[in-house]
Amino acid sequence: MARLIFAALAGALFGAGLLVSGMIDTIKVQGWLDLFGDWDPTLAFVMGGAILPMAIAWHVAERRRVALLGDAIPNRAPPVLDRRLIGGSLLFGAGWGLVGLCPGPALAAALLNGWGGLVFLLAMVAAMVATPGALRLLKA
């Protein structure tokens, strides 16, 4: 039960952060990605504000063997730069640039942006399921 409560709190905090920061506003995100056009630098503060706490959390997690709720913390996977990672990153970036949404904000957009957000979420999930290996990742 504690896991569900903490998961709900973490999800609510993440969703609130997306909403307050403007990460579900597709025009704002596309403006941030448009470096050579009408660039909007405000989301750089959101990214910077996310990187610092995560760097600290990773540093703390590397020194712990057990999470706060008692589960073992898995070892970090070795960094592998292969064509699957590069290809996936390119597809992710292209989708993010074209639509202005990535998976987290897409969930919020499905609830707050009407039919357009819901259609995008369904298309994104369909593409994930159609991708080789996606079902294995979803089951993990």
Q: Work out how many domains the chain is built from and give that number.
A: 1
Amino acid at 59: H
For residue 104, what are the contacts with CB-CB under 8 A and spacing of at least 6? 14, 18, 23
Residues 6+ apart with CB under 8 A from 111: 117
pLDDT tens column, 107-140: 887 887 778 888 888 888 888 788 766 556 555 5
Instruction: Tell me the β-bridge partners of 72.
Output: 66
What is the band of 63 on the pLDDT scale with cuts at 50, 70, 90?
confident
Domain that holds residue 87: 2-139
What's the pLDDT tens digit per position in 35-53? 888 888 888 888 888 898 8
Say what the pLDDT of residue 8 is.
92
Whole-model pTM: value is: 0.67
pLDDT of residue 95: 80
Taking residue 61's Cβ as centre, other Cβ atoms within 10 Å add up to 13
